[in-house]
Structure 1
């Protein structure tokens, strides 16, 4: 079976293709290809959720309760002022219509008409007193007894100007709301001033009871909401607790094969668990690949070291015995040189991959792929060892000018990529099989293809040929001196040029 890079399976040959994406044509250069492409203990989340929920609830209830309290206070005080206003208007209208009924006939002694309804002087709910123009109390309700309704000079002056004044003072050691206003009639020359007061104690008791009810209700509502938030958060966060337990277990046992049980919640927690499992799978794959890499690298380094030691011991024994066979010595030194070359190539490849792993990138500049492919083919010709080897380049332009495919890349790295593919083709192609190096355009892409007539790669190995130290045929690869790093380096070179390489 045969295979090809970046293409379908092709019968009769094995193709390796490196694809480099091209950019739009350059104004200055014609066609321009852009190649290249210790655990801290914090407050648990559940506790924070409960506290935040309770705090928000408490603040909301405080604002709502405060609004209710203020509105109720204003309503009660407004109702009280309205009642005082109604009583005052009743007195004022009665005095204006029948002022003589307010005095003892033939005297200036002030009395209260017996038919005044309601008669505050006979009511225990209101305190009333009447002042003359000098501010002296002339009449007061019986429930005042020996007490008087205090009035400030400012309030008395406003009443004297004909205004109605509301204020708060104390009567019988209790707060009262007072209305002070003038009593006058066109039929009489004098003006009297009346103060009507109602105790504030009922209003204060009502507001106190309302405040207590709001506080108790708000506290109970906050506690119930916090308890509900605790129960709900416990159920919602239990998958996170299981994830944390699994993560700690993996950290302590280093067993990356463990997975989190997916919660069937169909929400962000399930997405998180699936993402975590995917990450664990990738970490496990990476860890296993790293472990294989270390094992393979150790094996690849141990083999030439063993050969070097064996050849050194043979030559030392000859020297110690005093019998040195020049043919054996030459063969031993040749083996040493070959093993040193093999180790040098292996170390250079490992260094290249190590630099790639830490993000090293070569300097990029505008280069001509046609020239690079032509140079790589010339350098690789001795590797063909007599096999048929051909290079196919783009045809000249209509005007006969030499073809150019300009890309932003690194000439040395692109040349190394081509040489890796050619070396791989020469290594596994049959002695009579031909090898072809092709450079072509495909729209905005430049395609570098290496094809040979070798046995190809079996389908079960295609997805792993770019892994480090991987060999589809381990015995044959070792016989040819390969370490399985070439295609890994080729894939990295294609990647840093924003290209693709595939079978």
Structure 2
């Protein structure tokens, strides 16, 4: 006989309660406990008050019954016997219980029924009552066939008496009050629960809107490509005056930042692709030239070897090819050095700080530009006091040289180029102005981008590699400054702003 081992079935995890359910259950439970506590307290207080009133009524009834018993006993003398039924026949108060036990006689007891008739108690009932009494005064007992009674026991001369009133009226009143309280409590709980549901649902509606918005955003493909996050928490659910509304507002702000970051990422990717394409194009041209001239030189040498051609012609051809190869190598070296400079500037390297006289730097840059552009008119505007800043003199000279070379290259002969240096608040300002045709509006926004040039043909005569202004911007940014351009036909100004050192105090 084979006994199979019991299979342990995985327990299903209970589904967690939502925040709304927990709030409603918690608040409703607390309110229910409060209402039930109030109901219990009211019932206990009313019960105690009714019992005090019953005790007062019982005391009055006991006083009346005992007085009647004593008055009826007196005419008969000490040997006469007055029973409880005889006494109650005179009192006739509904529900009154009376038991008398003379010291020299048998105990008797009777009760007044609801219709006013007097019924004598049996011996067993009398013994049951007397057996439950343990002390004089007020007490509560249960009598078989009659129910619960509130009794008062006392000792008289020659006998003991017990007077009681039924507790049924008090219990009935308490039951009615408790039932009324329970009904009112239940109705109140229903109303409170409905109000709590409405309030909690309304209060958590902004949070649900936040969760729904976050869920929709999470389902968007954000890993690649042009991404625009249009999802936002509705303005009505993002009120900063409420706690949950601040969460919605914070999510909207976060989504704005993410959206702008994704746009910046896409622009950077596009710029990087364009940069790689431009760099490849710029490097392909000299490499193709080097390869072509190398093949031309080899071909000339091989022809001379096979056909016995002129050695002089072969040497001349090889020399020209080597000169072109050298020129293209120098061009490619310059391009690679510029790219390396940009990469190091992006990493915060390549700067050696020192004291730089921006006025002297402008004078030297203009002096270097005049021989290169003799057909332009060069004007220098500087003050008597030098403008001193903290920076890298070599790199800042490169900025000025690039701006002057840009003005010389992209303006016709006879153009006036004005270089000025001055202070503007806490900034040192270098301006290069020309009255040439201006910057093409189509390329103005991307003028400082890498490989950005006004001449799309990439001709060597009208422009370089397109890295001059991007290098100038990188150097200025590394110094904590700004570079900008304002251009209309006949009025173009490149402005460089750099943090200036405070002027020296007068001696």
- Cα deviation, 1:60-102, whole Å, max 9, x if unaligned, reads 4313422442243234313422331331342355379767247
- Which residue of structure 2 aligns with residue 207 of structure 1? 178
- Which residue of structure 1 aligns with residue 31 of structure 2? 61
Q: 5+ unaligned residues in a row in structure 2: which ranges?
A: 1-13, 114-120, 240-244, 302-313, 487-507
| Aligned counterparts of 1:319 and 1:121: Cα–Cα separation in 2 | 143
Cα gap change, 1:305/1:499 in structure 2, threshold over 3 Å: closer, same or farther? closer
8 Å Cα contact 2:141/2:148 also seen in 1: yes
* 2:51 is equivalent to residue 81 of structure 1: yes
* CA shift for structure 1 position 341: 1.0
Cα gap change, 1:292/1:193 in structure 2, threshold over 3 Å: closer, same or farther? same
| Aligned counterparts of 1:181 and 1:361: Cα–Cα separation in 2 | 107
- Cα deviation, 1:453-497, whole Å, max 9, x if unaligned, reads 333224555444344554444336874223357348627844873
* CA shift for structure 1 position 51: 1.0
* 2:353 is equivalent to residue 382 of structure 1: no
1:453 aligned to 403, 415, 435, which one?
435
8 Å Cα contact 2:96/2:163 also seen in 1: no
- Indicate the SS of the match to 2:219: helix
Q: 5+ unaligned residues in a row in structure 1: which ranges?
A: 1-41, 123-127, 160-164, 397-402
| Aligned counterparts of 1:484 and 1:132: Cα–Cα separation in 2 | 131
* CA shift for structure 1 position 296: 1.7
Cα gap change, 1:425/1:148 in structure 2, threshold over 3 Å: closer, same or farther? farther
* CA shift for structure 1 position 393: 4.0
* CA shift for structure 1 position 239: 8.6
- Indicate the SS of the match to 1:84: helix
* CA shift for structure 1 position 329: 0.7
Question: Structure with the greater relative contact order (CA < 8 A, sep ≥ 6): 1 or 2?
Answer: 1
- Indicate the SS of the match to 1:456: coil
- Cα deviation, 1:121-162, whole Å, max 9, x if unaligned, reads 26xxxxx778999xx998675898724388786xx48x5xxx
1:348 aligned to 341, 354, 371, which one?
341
| Aligned counterparts of 1:447 and 1:299: Cα–Cα separation in 2 | 35
Cα gap change, 1:476/1:184 in structure 2, threshold over 3 Å: closer, same or farther? farther
Normalised TM-score (structure 1)? 0.62
* CA shift for structure 1 position 435: 3.4
* CA shift for structure 1 position 55: 1.9
* 2:184 is equivalent to residue 198 of structure 1: no
| Aligned counterparts of 1:195 and 1:410: Cα–Cα separation in 2 | 114
- Cα deviation, 1:192-233, whole Å, max 9, x if unaligned, reads 676656257543576378558745874696479659977997
| Aligned counterparts of 1:363 and 1:194: Cα–Cα separation in 2 | 113
- 1:131-210 equivalent positions in 2, closer than 5 A: 141=111, 146=125, 147-148=128-129, 156=135, 159=137, 198-199=167-168, 202=172, 203=174, 207=178, 210=181
Cα gap change, 1:48/1:262 in structure 2, threshold over 3 Å: closer, same or farther? closer
- Which residue of structure 1 aligns with residue 242 of structure 2? none
- 1:451-490 equivalent positions in 2, closer than 5 A: 451-459=433-441, 461-475=443-457, 479-483=462-466, 486-487=469-470, 490=473
* CA shift for structure 1 position 345: 0.4
1:121 aligned to 86, 96, 109, which one?
96
| Aligned counterparts of 2:421 and 2:350: Cα–Cα separation in 1 | 23
- Which residue of structure 1 aligns with residue 219 of structure 2? 248
* CA shift for structure 1 position 425: 3.5
* CA shift for structure 1 position 332: 1.4
8 Å Cα contact 2:380/2:418 also seen in 1: yes
8 Å Cα contact 1:421/1:450 also seen in 2: yes
- 1:273-312 equivalent positions in 2, closer than 5 A: 282-283=260-261, 285-312=263-290
- Which residue of structure 1 aligns with residue 5 of structure 2? none
8 Å Cα contact 1:102/1:113 also seen in 2: no
Normalised TM-score (structure 2)? 0.62
- Count residues with an aligned counterpart: 427
- Indicate the SS of the match to 2:129: coil
| Aligned counterparts of 2:42 and 2:339: Cα–Cα separation in 1 | 89
- Cα deviation, 1:269-317, whole Å, max 9, x if unaligned, reads 9978976885576356424422321222112221233234323323432
Cα gap change, 1:50/1:82 in structure 2, threshold over 3 Å: closer, same or farther? same
8 Å Cα contact 2:228/2:259 also seen in 1: yes
| Aligned counterparts of 1:461 and 1:168: Cα–Cα separation in 2 | 106
